[in-house]
Amino acid sequence: MGALSLPFGVGAGRRRSPVGCRMSFCFLGLPLPPVSFLFLLLLATPGAWAAGYETCPTVQPDMLNVHLVAHTHDDVGWLKTVDQYYYGIQNNVQHAGVQYILDSVISALLAEPTRRFIYVEMAFFSRWWHQQTNATQEIVRSLVRQGRLEFANGGWVMNDEAATHYGAIVDQMTLGLRFLENTFGNDGRPRVAWHIDPFGHSREQASLFAQMGFDGFFFGRLDYQDKLVRKKRREMEQVWRASTSLKPPAADLFTGVLPNNYNPPEGLCWDVLCADKPVVDDPRSPEYNAKELVSYFLQLATAQGQYYRTNHTVMTMGSDFQYENANMWFKNMDKLIQMVNMQQANGSRVNVLYSTPACYLWELNKANLTWSVKKDDFFPYADGPHMFWTGYFSSRPALKRYERLSYNFLQVCNQLEALVGSAANVGPYGYGDSAPLNEAMAVLQHHDAVSGTSRQHVANDYASQLAAGWGPCEVLLSNALAKLSGSKESFSICRDLNISFCPVSQTSAHFQVIVYNPLGRKVDQMVRLPVSEGLFLVKDPRDKTVPSKVVELPNTGNTELLFPALVPALGFSIYSVTQVSIRRPRAHLRQPRPQKSRSPILSIKNEYLQATFHPDTGFLRTIEVLDRKLTLAVSQAFFWYNASTGDKQSDQASGAYIFRPSQAKPIPVSHWAQTQLVKTALVQEVHQNFSAWCSQVVRLYPGQRHLELEWTVGPIPVGDKWGKEVISRFDTPLKTLGVFYTDSNGREILERRRDYRPSWDLNQTEPVAGNYYPVNSRIYITDGKMQLTVLTDRSQGGSSLRDGSLELMVHRRLLKDDGRGVGEALLESGSGVWVRGRHLVLLDTAHEAAVGHRLLAEKELLAPQVVLAPGRGSSYHHKAAPSKQFSGLNRELPPSVHLLTLARWGPDMLLLRFEHQFALGEDSSRNLSTPVVLDLRDLFSTFTITHLQETTLAANQPRASASRLKWTPETGPTSHPTVPRLDPASITLQPMEIRTFVASVQWKEDS
Ligand SMILES: [Zn+2]
């Protein structure tokens, strides 16, 4: 999206102030040489035929060099769908057609060899590429080789940084960079990460970029106060130390703030979408403006250069969907360059040139300065007083959950494709493929997709893309499960288990339940399936009866079958379920209690935990950890903020991007909850009904060390004309001194302080919204002794606005647009109005807390996949008996190791990523923060690794030959360790380290 850009594609044209010529800067220019002469001059620059920085243009060492970066910002869906943007459909909504942009740019680059352009979004570029003739492709290859077309970032999309999980970021970057690597080799490898539009920047994103081998990173948006301070201190460019665990410079990333977000300077927008005056260089024309323009430009460049430390500065010449008529931009920039540089003969010390982010970075690197170091992140983002972009952390919660669930399913799909090989792709169920879901997931990472900031019809399209991606993965799953189990069943996945709907289990008297576990360790999982009434017999893979229970869900009339499943690492267990009686069973169910009765205290309990509820309100009152003798008063309830529609202080309304409550104090959804208790041997639940649109089940299964809060919110009533932003809040007496903690993209943890920013003296204008941070997987508070952690099942905004309190925004429904371009109120329609989700609550001692939340977050992210089948399928192998249990691993991974990626990479190649999931010093209780050594030989049961190559994080460079530009941070020089010899028998993982491998493999014959 573009900040404040207006619909109908007039965003950039809005900035209309005329190019001014202050008289003191106006002087007579010399007659201009023919343009062709200038071309020849510039053509003579050396080193035009090598890859990387060698193709960069020559600069003037003793002048201020202004690097013009010609670029287009092409959102992978926002006001229009991906396809509407690509083809240029619905230009009445927004004038934008990416295919024409690329056609036009290539012609313009060919017309003049000094011109350069960068392209960013591979979702669009790869599509365009596949539609070109061989001849055009050859021309484009040569432009890339010469550095005239440079790829920046190179992900499938320019991903959001607040609502994304690191696993999905790594996947989407891998997809885009792989296309570039396959198509252009090393010539096409982006050196620079380019996140010019995302609305705030996470530290984990910087760490991932560093690990992917990027030399530097440029972005556009940061808090307006932060930007002012940085300009004053000349800290617009610095080294970002993006990990507290990885040894520098592994996660150090040179980072630059662009001067003008990503737009051209005022008055210099020469796109068909803009209204600025072109360069008129014929002195006889009454419209002649060349002289004024030159003087304005020189003034502009000098002023801008003052905020940066080298004699180089950058100007972003382009914006949203610009360059559809690239000639307009380039023709005017050709003239500008020529005219401005002509002034050097008159003593001007400004040199302007066509450049790229990589070439600009290269000059900064050569300046050999010592740079200041940043250690926190760039959240939250505010573009003015009262304008905090913290609403999108929670916008469209149903889409955010669907994205996270699809991540889970994609990993299952990838793993089975890797474990089984080609039999997963072509088998009895047809052609199975992980690629469509992989692409759909990549699209969802775009900064207007999972962020929830697109228009409604685009959000619907995103959901459709995910749904379409699930199909081929389900075929793959069936092929793989048939092969591994030896039985050709009619497998089916119930996609609607969250609303207790599943035809196979609800209508069959006998069926099988296949539970696949994508983790590198065995898991036990309570399986819950909707069933018709009756009694059921459940048998495990060894034909032993397992305890099971049918529970009636209060107020719905639905019944669910529960049984505990134990599933081996990276494998499955098959359970059989048989209905033995149609007698109506009854779980012990207490009827709703009358309001405020003096009834005994409600509580639920297992061997580790007890939770009690307030007898008057029905709210959660205490959590007790029995074996650790910890008790904490925890009150939990739902509240809502009344969304501001603007007031005397500011006309800023709450919207898809912006969160702005009309008052700091939230309003309780209800002062009490109607409660019902379900107590069985397999689950204990308190059902809380707060209002017609807000309810919750507080749940405890045997053996669990966490409390599960399954909330259901919606449709949020707005009949009173008040937009509402609903939170779940936990209040405790913990003395937290204004401090709380949130994860960064689901990985490392950052400390947050109320009304405080680590890098500048904050003038807080919004006491609530200005303290909201992205929560991708967890938020916690601690008094140093006890820690209360809440894990989320999707990205949400969260905060701690009072000591001992923490809150998460679960849903929002708004009646006004917030003026950031989307032009729609976040009302949502269809399934998005009604949202169900889970918060997992952990109470622990502070020093034991990391084990709990790290392992539980991993289990929540990669939950077991439940597949149903009627049974009685025919044999797959004809020889071997069907097997009801399988593990893809010959030995389990240690608890500190997360199998981040196991995916097909080629006909006989796999992509593997192993991750140490604990931070340095995070766990002292079980020593899980220490380095761990893996033996990859014979680790997997279905294939043998015949060759192993280590790569950078996105798998587009061998690690041994990868090198990054070296920078000197103010903290002192860092040593660049040599890459040790790769020994598959001994792969060491340091805390928070991810190691990526491309493995050649041989699948084993059926045993
Ligand atoms: Zn954008």
684-711 pLDDT, tens digit each? 999 999 999 999 999 999 999 999 999 9
Taking the centre of ligand 1 as the mean of its atom positions, its distance from the CA of residue 624, in whole angstroms, is 47
User: How far apart, in whole angstroms, are the C-alpha atoms of residue 907 and residue 347?
Assistant: 62
* 137 SS3 class: helix
Quick one: pLDDT at residue 13? 30
For every residue of 348-368, DSSP letters joined together read --EEEEEE-HHHHHHHHHHT-
SS3 string, 186-230, reads: HHHCCCEEEECCCCCECHHHHHHHHHCCCCEEEECCCCHHHHHHH
- Lowest-confidence pick of 265-274, 455-464, 874-883: 874-883
The alpha carbon torsion through 393, 388, 303, 5 (nearest 10 deg) reads: 70
For residue 109, pLDDT over 50 is answered with yes
Q: Which two tokens stand for residue 661?
A: 């409550």
Taking the centre of ligand 1 as the mean of its atom positions, its distance from the CA of residue 325, in whole angstroms, is 20
Taking the centre of ligand 1 as the mean of its atom positions, its distance from the CA of residue 442, in whole angstroms, is 15
User: How far apart, in whole angstroms, are the C-alpha atoms of residue 865 and residue 370?
Assistant: 51
Phi, psi of 397 (to 5 degrees): -65, -30
In terms of pLDDT, which residue wins out, 890 or 555?
Answer: 890
Taking the centre of ligand 1 as the mean of its atom positions, its distance from the CA of residue 364, in whole angstroms, is 26
Spatial contact of 326 and 119, defined as CB atoms under 8 Å apart = no
Choosing among 2.60.120.680, 2.60.40.1360, 3.40.50.1100, 3.40.50.300, the CATH entry for 887-968+979-1006 is 2.60.40.1360
First to last CA, the chain: 54
In the sheet that holds 897-906, the strands lie side by side as: 897-906, 909-916, 994-1003, 943-951
Nearest in space to 333 (alpha carbons), one of 293, 295, 299, 306: 293
For residue 589, pLDDT over 70 is answered with no
One of 197, 383, 731, 783 is an active-site residue; which one? 197
In terms of pLDDT, which residue wins out, 4 or 189?
Answer: 189
Strands 724-731 and 630-642: antiparallel
Spatial contact of 937 and 945, defined as CB atoms under 8 Å apart = yes
Residue % of the chain over a pLDDT of 90: 87
Quick one: pLDDT at residue 181? 98
The C-alpha angle with vertex 35 and arms to 33 and 36, in degrees rounded to 5, equals 110
User: How far apart, in whole angstroms, are the C-alpha atoms of residue 579 and residue 507?
Assistant: 10
Q: What is the mean pLDDT of residues 325-351?
A: 98
pLDDT category at 40 given cuts 50, 70, 90 is very low
Q: What is the mean pLDDT of residues 567-577?
A: 98
Spatial contact of 339 and 29, defined as CB atoms under 8 Å apart = yes
The C-alpha angle with vertex 329 and arms to 324 and 333, in degrees rounded to 5, equals 160
**CB under 8 Å to 589, separation ≥6 — which residues?**
552, 554, 676, 677, 678
Helix axes 397-420, 849-861, angle to 10 degrees: 80
CB neighbourhood size of 45 (10 A)? 15
pLDDT category at 868 given cuts 50, 70, 90 is very high
Length reported for the chain: 1007
pLDDT category at 169 given cuts 50, 70, 90 is very high
In terms of pLDDT, which residue wins out, 877 or 673?
Answer: 673
Spatial contact of 165 and 792, defined as CB atoms under 8 Å apart = no
In terms of pLDDT, which residue wins out, 507 or 297?
Answer: 297
Quick one: pLDDT at residue 605? 97
User: How far apart, in whole angstroms, are the C-alpha atoms of residue 446 and residue 442?
Assistant: 7
Strands 64-70 and 350-355: parallel
User: How far apart, in whole angstroms, are the C-alpha atoms of residue 610 and residue 607?
Assistant: 8
Fold of 488-518+527-563: Immunoglobulin-like (2.60.40)
Taking the centre of ligand 1 as the mean of its atom positions, its distance from the CA of residue 611, in whole angstroms, is 45
Question: What does the DSSP 8-state code read for residue 88?
Answer: T
Nearest in space to 840 (alpha carbons), one of 634, 963, 983, 699: 699
Taking only the tens place, the pLDDT of each residue in 675-685 is 999 999 999 99
Catalytic site includes residue 197 = yes
Quick one: pLDDT at residue 795? 98
Q: What is the mean pLDDT of residues 557-578?
A: 96
How distant, in Å, are the alpha carbons of 21, 244, 733, 836, 975 from that of 739?
52, 18, 14, 29, 34
User: How far apart, in whole angstroms, are the C-alpha atoms of residue 873 and residue 424?
Assistant: 18
pLDDT category at 557 given cuts 50, 70, 90 is confident
Nearest in space to 143 (alpha carbons), one of 175, 181, 101, 105: 105
* Residues facing residue 684 across a β-bridge: 679, 700
Q: Which two tokens stand for residue 56?
A: 């960069």
Q: Which among 493-497, 549-553, 729-733 has the top mean pLDDT?
A: 729-733
Taking only the tens place, the pLDDT of each residue in 770-795 is 999 999 999 999 999 999 999 999 99
Helix axes 166-184, 134-145, angle to 10 degrees: 110
Spatial contact of 473 and 103, defined as CB atoms under 8 Å apart = no
Q: What is the mean pLDDT of residues 516-544?
A: 96
Helix axes 166-184, 122-130, angle to 10 degrees: 30
User: How far apart, in whole angstroms, are the C-alpha atoms of residue 549 and residue 528?
Assistant: 10
* Residues facing residue 256 across a β-bridge: 218, 237
Computed on alpha carbons and rounded to an integer, the radius of gyration of the chain in Å comes to 30
Taking the centre of ligand 1 as the mean of its atom positions, its distance from the CA of residue 455, in whole angstroms, is 13
pLDDT category at 268 given cuts 50, 70, 90 is very high
Quick one: pLDDT at residue 879? 64
pLDDT category at 718 given cuts 50, 70, 90 is very high
SS3 string, 932-992, reads: EEECCCCCECCEEEEEEEEECCCCCCEHHHCCCCCCEECCCCCCCCCCCCCCCCCEEECCC
Spatial contact of 440 and 468, defined as CB atoms under 8 Å apart = yes
For residue 45, pLDDT over 80 is answered with no
Spatial contact of 264 and 316, defined as CB atoms under 8 Å apart = yes
pLDDT category at 596 given cuts 50, 70, 90 is very low
Taking the centre of ligand 1 as the mean of its atom positions, its distance from the CA of residue 193, in whole angstroms, is 15
**CB under 8 Å to 89, separation ≥6 — which residues?**
80, 83, 97
Quick one: pLDDT at residue 1007? 42
Taking the centre of ligand 1 as the mean of its atom positions, its distance from the CA of residue 470, in whole angstroms, is 27
How distant, in Å, are the alpha carbons of 499, 527, 679, 727 from that of 530?
9, 10, 18, 29
User: How far apart, in whole angstroms, are the C-alpha atoms of residue 189 and residue 145?
Assistant: 11
Quick one: pLDDT at residue 995? 98
In terms of pLDDT, which residue wins out, 699 or 878?
Answer: 699
User: How far apart, in whole angstroms, are the C-alpha atoms of residue 704 and residue 708?
Assistant: 9
For residue 46, pLDDT over 70 is answered with no
Taking only the tens place, the pLDDT of each residue in 378-419 is 999 999 999 999 999 999 999 999 999 999 999 999 999 999
- Tell the CATH superfamily of the 607-757+767-862 domain: Golgi alpha-mannosidase II; domain 4 (2.70.98.30)
Q: Which two tokens stand for residue 465?
A: 């893309």
Q: Which two tokens stand for residue 403?
A: 């994205």
Phi, psi of 287 (to 5 degrees): -95, 5
For residue 494, pLDDT over 50 is answered with yes
Mark 418-436 as b/e (b = at least 16 C-beta within 10 Å): bbbbebbbebebeebbbeb
Where along the chain do its domains lie?
A: 66-154+190-378, 488-518+527-563, 607-757+767-862, 887-968+979-1006
Quote the mean pLDDT of the chain. Answer: 92
User: How far apart, in whole angstroms, are the C-alpha atoms of residue 357 and residue 116?
Assistant: 11
User: How far apart, in whole angstroms, are the C-alpha atoms of residue 802 and residue 800?
Assistant: 6
Q: What's the burial of 557, exposed, middle or buried (CB within 10 Å: 0-12/13-18/19+)?
A: exposed
pLDDT category at 20 given cuts 50, 70, 90 is very low
For residue 656, pLDDT over 50 is answered with yes
Strands 312-317 and 64-70: parallel
Taking the centre of ligand 1 as the mean of its atom positions, its distance from the CA of residue 78, in whole angstroms, is 8
For residue 571, pLDDT over 80 is answered with yes
pLDDT category at 496 given cuts 50, 70, 90 is confident
Rounded to an integer, what is the distance from CA 588 to the centroid of its chain?
Answer: 43
What residues have a C-beta under 5 A from ligand 1, the ion? Answer: 1, 75, 197
Taking the centre of ligand 1 as the mean of its atom positions, its distance from the CA of residue 653, in whole angstroms, is 21
Quick one: pLDDT at residue 1006? 56
Taking the centre of ligand 1 as the mean of its atom positions, its distance from the CA of residue 159, in whole angstroms, is 9
User: How far apart, in whole angstroms, are the C-alpha atoms of residue 914 and residue 988?
Assistant: 10
In terms of pLDDT, which residue wins out, 875 or 522?
Answer: 522
In the sheet that holds 549-552, the strands lie side by side as: 523-531, 559-567, 549-552
Half-sphere exposure of 909 (CA within 13 A, CB side): 11
CB neighbourhood size of 181 (10 A)? 18
For residue 38, pLDDT over 90 is answered with no
In terms of pLDDT, which residue wins out, 335 or 981?
Answer: 335
Q: What is the mean pLDDT of residues 648-659?
A: 98
Taking the centre of ligand 1 as the mean of its atom positions, its distance from the CA of residue 73, in whole angstroms, is 6
In terms of pLDDT, which residue wins out, 102 or 27?
Answer: 102
Taking the centre of ligand 1 as the mean of its atom positions, its distance from the CA of residue 320, in whole angstroms, is 7
Quick one: pLDDT at residue 979? 81
User: How far apart, in whole angstroms, are the C-alpha atoms of residue 324 and residue 97?
Assistant: 7
Rounded to an integer, what is the distance from CA 927 to the centroid of its chain?
Answer: 30
Quick one: pLDDT at residue 138? 98
pLDDT category at 878 given cuts 50, 70, 90 is low
Taking the centre of ligand 1 as the mean of its atom positions, its distance from the CA of residue 74, in whole angstroms, is 7
Same fold: 607-757+767-862 with 887-968+979-1006: no
Domain 66-154+190-378: give its CATH architecture: Alpha-Beta Barrel (3.20)
